[in-house]
């Protein structure tokens, strides 16, 4: 019997964790010939989401290195590249597959690089210079490992943005094709709400955390909504689903009386779906959040990230205008600019006959073709069972001897003390 194992070491529930849970449950429930293991933290907050009747769950604790000797393919995020060696005792019967789900997650393998990326520059060429100058030989070790994984089919990318950015700051020009493994979501059985929520009020939504690289996109939406409401004397209600430390930045946005912000904090699952269907005509979101509304036939605008203020003339795109599974770019590094102004986005839904229904169907069709879990699962299985890379192969690359491994081990000891 074939086997797949997922490894996730954090305690908290975040979007990245649920990607693995979603795939693990789907495979376990739909493929009787594939055995599923899940190595997760003993106190994993998302453990209740895992189908434990069909999946073998292995408790993991920081610093205790559980032994694992199975004929399986272990799938984990590229951020766990070092931890696979430090935290697990794997036999060579275990093959490896790493998944890159964020443009800078390979760069984040280097301690403190996130401070540079968020505060100085997210431009891949500048990141490359920073990593080379600060980490010297260790940068080349990681680069050699990256090249090895790429050329041995043990690396998959969420989208073309991840692929292109990582190749640039890893200073690598591949000669072979890469594996794409986009974000999966299960289709939702629901009643399609193709009618406008209220003919007298424009109801738009925001779905996502209120944190540094997302908050400026929301602020741009709020400011554009304020201008639109003033220009056409229209009432606009913005439903903000999400929470985060940078919510306070919204207080600086001047609003006229025609614009109302409705704060919902974080909601999920069926409650989220119901709220969107009953309250939102156009959803603005990035990443997985934009797929969440697309699967409901809701017109969905794919937002881009930025660590600083976004100009008011920023243009938007519908999710079906995205290419190569890309679910959001960095505003400062975009190669091709979006084509729709805020006013055009609103008018395509509110000023055209059946606008909400037509655009909603286009968004749903994009979801089904590019992110439906049945499609992505087959992509995963095709990729996973090609891997022949083992933990011994990684050790030969001397990654565990790099200086920043000591920092990883120090972090492990600190976390152990706090458990």
Do 366 and 382 sit in the same domain of this protein? no
* Residue at a domain's end among 355, 371, 387: 371
In a domain, 194, yes or no: no
Residues 386 and 267 in one domain: no
Q: Which two tokens stand for residue 48?
A: 């209740």
Q: What's the pLDDT band for 74 if we cut at 50, 70, 90?
A: very high
pLDDT band per the 50, 70, 90 thresholds, residue 159 = very high
When mean pLDDT is compared over 270-284, 322-336, 388-402, the highest value belongs to: 270-284
73 in any annotated domain = yes
pLDDT at 405 over 70: no
Query: What is the rounded average pLDDT of the residues 261-272?
Result: 89
The yes-or-no verdict on residue 79 having pLDDT over 70 is yes
Give a yes or no: residue 155 inside a domain: yes
The pLDDT assigned to 212 comes to 80
If one counts the domains in the chain, the total is 2
Distances (CA, A) of 304 to 36, 281, 286, 316, 395: 35, 20, 7, 9, 38
Residue 156 lies in a domain: yes
Residue 401's pLDDT is: 61
Measured CA to CA in angstroms, residue 256 lies from 103, 203, 236, 350 at distances of: 37, 16, 10, 21
143 in the same domain as 236: no
For residue 334, name the pLDDT band (cuts at 50, 70, 90): confident
Q: What is the pTM of this model?
A: 0.84
Report the pLDDT value the prediction gives residue 417, as an integer from 0 to 100.
44
Q: What is the pLDDT of residues 13-32, one digit of tens each?
A: 766 678 899 999 999 999 99
What's the domain range around 357? 201-371
**pLDDT > 60? residue 418:** no
CATH of the domain at 16: 3.40.50
289 shares its domain with 153:
no
* pLDDT band per the 50, 70, 90 thresholds, residue 157: very high
Average pLDDT over residues 111-116: 85
**pLDDT reading at 131 higher than 80:** yes
Q: What is the mean pLDDT of residues 314-334?
A: 88
Q: Which of 419, 370, 385, 39 is nearest to 181 (CA)?
A: 370
Pair (266, 406) in one structural domain: no
Q: Going by C-beta distance under 8 Å and a sequence separation of 6 or more, which residues neighbour residue 170?
A: 106, 128, 142, 143, 146, 147
Secondary structure class of 396 (helix, strand, coil): helix
For residue 222, being part of any structural domain is answered with yes
Is the pLDDT at 378 greater than 90, yes or no?
yes
Does 399 or 222 have the greater pLDDT score? 222
Q: Is residue 192 one of the residues assigned to a domain? A: no
Of 18, 25, 16, nearest in space to 51 by CA: 25
- The overall average pLDDT reported for the chain is 89
Summarize pLDDT for 188-215 with one digit per residue, the tens: 887 788 889 998 999 999 999 898 889 9
pLDDT for 419: 45
**CATH number of the CATH domain containing 300:** 3.40.50.2000
Count the neighbouring beta carbons within 10 Å of the beta carbon of residue 95: 24
- Is the predicted pLDDT of residue 416 greater than 60, yes or no? no
User: What percentage of the chain exceeds 70 in pLDDT?
Assistant: 94
Residue 253: per-residue pLDDT: 87
Written as six digits, the tokens of 206 are 């925001």
Is the CB of residue 225 less than 8 Å from the CB of residue 253? no
Last residue of a domain, one of 341, 356, 371: 371
153-178: average pLDDT: 90
pLDDT exceeds 90 at position 365 = yes
With bands split at pLDDT 50, 70 and 90, how would you rate the model's confidence at 340?
very high
Chain CA centroid to CA 359, Å: 24
- Do 403 and 389 fall within a single domain? yes
Cα 3 to Cα 351: distance, rounded to the nearest angstrom: 52
């Amino acid at each position: 019997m074939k086997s797949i194992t997922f490894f996730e070491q954090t305690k908290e529930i975040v979007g990245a964790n649920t990607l693995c849970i979603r795939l693990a449950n789907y495979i376990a429930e739909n493929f009787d010939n594939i055995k599923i293991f899940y190595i997760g933290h003993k106190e994993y907050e998302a453990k209740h989401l895992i189908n434990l009747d069909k999946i073998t769950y292995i408790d993991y604790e920081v610093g205790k290195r559980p032994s694992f000797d199975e004929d399986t393919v272990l799938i984990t995020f590229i951020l766990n590249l070092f931890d696979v060696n430090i935290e697990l005792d794997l036999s060579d019967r275990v093959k490896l597959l790493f998944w890159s789900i964020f443009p800078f997650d390979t760069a984040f393998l280097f301690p403190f690089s996130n401070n540079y990326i968020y505060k100085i520059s997210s431009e891949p060429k500048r990141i490359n210079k920073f990593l080379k100058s600060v980490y010297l030989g260790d940068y080349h070790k990681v680069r050699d490992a990256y090249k090895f994984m790429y050329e041995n089919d043990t690396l998959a990318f969420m989208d073309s943005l991840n692929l292109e950015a990582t190749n640039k700051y890893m200073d690598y020009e591949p000669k072979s094709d890469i594996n794409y493994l986009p974000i999966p979501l299960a289709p939702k059985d629901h009643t399609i709400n193709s009618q406008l929520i209220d003919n007298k009020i424009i109801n738009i939504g925001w779905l996502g955390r209120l944190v540094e690289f997302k908050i400026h996109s929301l602020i741009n939406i709020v400011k554009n909504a304020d201008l639109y409401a003033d220009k056409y004397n229209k009432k606009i209600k913005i439903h903000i689903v999400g929470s985060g430390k940078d919510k306070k930045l919204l207080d600086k946005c001047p609003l006229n009386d025609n614009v109302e912000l409705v704060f919902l904090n974080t909601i999920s699952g069926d409650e989220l779906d119901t709220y969107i269907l009953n309250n939102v005509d156009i959803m603005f979101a990035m990443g997985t959040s934009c797929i969440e509304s697309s699967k409901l036939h809701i017109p969905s605008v794919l937002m881009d990230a930025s660590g600083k203020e976004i100009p008011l003339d920023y243009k938007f795109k519908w999710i079906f205008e995205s290419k190569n599974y890309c679910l959001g770019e960095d505003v400062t590094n975009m190669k091709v600019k979006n084509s729709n102004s805020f006013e055009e986005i609103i008018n395509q839904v509110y000023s055209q006959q059946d606008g909400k229904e037509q655009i909603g169907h286009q968004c749903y069709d994009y979801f089904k073709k590019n992110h439906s879990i049945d499609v992505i699962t087959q992509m995963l299985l095709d990729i996973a069972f090609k891997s022949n890379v083992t933990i011994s192969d990684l050790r030969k690359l001397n990654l565990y001897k790099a200086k920043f491994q000591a920092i990883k081990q120090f972090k492990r000891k600190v976390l152990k003390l706090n458990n």
